[in-house]
Amino acid sequence: MKFSIGLAALAVGMMIAAAPAGAADKKVLGVSIPSATHGWAGGLNWHAQQAKIALEKKYPDLSIALVTAGDATRQANDLEDLVQVRKIDALVILPFESAPLTEPVRQVKNAGKWITIVDRGLTDPSIQDLYVAGNNPQMGANSANFMVKKMGGKGNIVILRGIPTVIDNQRFDAFMDIVKKTDIKVLDSKYANWNRDDGFKVMQDFLSRFPKIDAVWAQDDDITLGVIEAVKQAGREKDLFILGGAGMKEMVKRVMDKDVLVPADVLYPPKMIADAMELTAKHMMENAPLEKQYIVDATLVTPENAKQFYYPDSPF
């Protein structure tokens, strides 16, 4: 039962076709994640895929059912299928949105399954048995601290935000808390939707509008790619630097290569899904004791440590 990420949409259908036969004696771990609609989610899918292969090899009695969904409603439907058709014993889920998925996940919990929540917490944390997440406020804070230090506490910056969600707000608020205590002036912030084309357009307009920009906080590496092109077009590479986030391999490579335009990156690794799967599998198969929470640090990637965060085979 192999399916590539690109064909993930078919997963639900195949799942039904390939119902439990032979899986009865095996333990089943269900994994539900959003489909690969942007770079970070692409990395998420890749890491989940890698973890599935590795874990199924490591534990011959473990079967992993990986499903991806394009929106919250479909993800809720997936959960029902995982419980009823695939007879899962535990669930690892990265919820599309917090509120709409809280009740569906509670249903799974009530069916007696182990619940591991990744990245986006449910509105009722008591449902989860394990919580694995990146640290959004820390990501904003680390980004701010790096910028403040690099700019000597003064100068003009612009911010390209993601999309209006809790994650984005947490990062942004933590960033602003630190920056507003300094002489750094935030010229403006606009949404760039975690998207390269939007990053390019918004940055073009910022460059037209503000003659003096010292730094850009792009918050996400897909956006950063667009920002770099806009800066290059305007010929202002020498005047400013860009700080992205997430740990895209192209950006980590630039940091490794000591690119002055992108001097650092802040991790928000999609690999956290693999960590969550591994911890859960370990608990299922070896009954290993677990902490309730496992927070992945938003580590600052610098030329010194870049090598250990570089995954050249990952799509992200």
- 250 binding other proteins? (CB under 8 A): yes
Choices 86-94, 101-109, 188-196, 294-302 (CB under 8 A): range interacting with other proteins: 188-196
Separation of alpha carbons 10 and 13, rounded Å? 5
- 42 binding other proteins? (CB under 8 A): yes
Cα-based distances in Å from 140 to 94, 131, 231, 281 = 21, 20, 23, 31
Of 45, 135, 143, 219, the residue at the interface with other proteins (CB under 8 A) is 45
Q: Which is nearer to other proteins, 233 or 293 (CB)?
A: 233
Of 26, 190, 253, 283, the residue at the interface with other proteins (CB under 8 A) is 190
For 121, the token pair is 């917490």
- 151 binding other proteins? (CB under 8 A): no
Say if residues 248 and 256 touch (Cβ distance below 8 Å): no
Query: What dihedral do alpha carbons 63, 95, 39, 65 form, nearest 10°?
Result: 10
Sign, CA torsion 215/219/224/230: negative
Q: Tell me phi and psi for residue 237, to 5 degrees.
A: -60, -35
- 208 binding other proteins? (CB under 8 A): yes
CB of 238 to other proteins, least distance (A): 18
For 180, the token pair is 């507003």
Q: Which is nearer to other proteins, 22 or 164 (CB)?
A: 164
Separation of alpha carbons 113 and 90, rounded Å? 5
Say if residues 140 and 172 touch (Cβ distance below 8 Å): yes
Choices 32-40, 102-110, 271-279, 304-312 (CB under 8 A): range interacting with other proteins: 32-40
Choices 38-46, 85-93, 94-102, 294-302 (CB under 8 A): range interacting with other proteins: 38-46
Choices 29-37, 54-62, 91-99, 112-120 (CB under 8 A): range interacting with other proteins: 29-37
Of 164, 287, 292, 312, the residue at the interface with other proteins (CB under 8 A) is 164
- 6 binding other proteins? (CB under 8 A): yes
Separation of alpha carbons 13 and 222, rounded Å? 31
- 182 binding other proteins? (CB under 8 A): no
Q: Which is nearer to other proteins, 146 or 309 (CB)?
A: 309
Of 135, 134, 143, 148, which Cα lies nearest the Cα of 161? 143
- 39 binding other proteins? (CB under 8 A): yes
Choices 4-12, 100-108, 123-131, 294-302 (CB under 8 A): range interacting with other proteins: 4-12
H and E: helices and strands count for the chain: 10, 12
For 41, the token pair is 């989610």
Instruction: Give the number of residues in contact with other proteins, rule: CB under 8 A.
Output: 42
The amino acid sitting at 12 is V
Say if residues 32 and 67 touch (Cβ distance below 8 Å): yes
Choices 140-148, 236-244, 294-302, 308-316 (CB under 8 A): range interacting with other proteins: 308-316
The residues that touch other proteins, with contacts defined as CB under 8 A, are: 4-7, 9, 35-39, 41-43, 45-46, 161, 164, 187-191, 195-197, 200-202, 204-206, 208-209, 222, 225-226, 229, 233, 250, 314-316
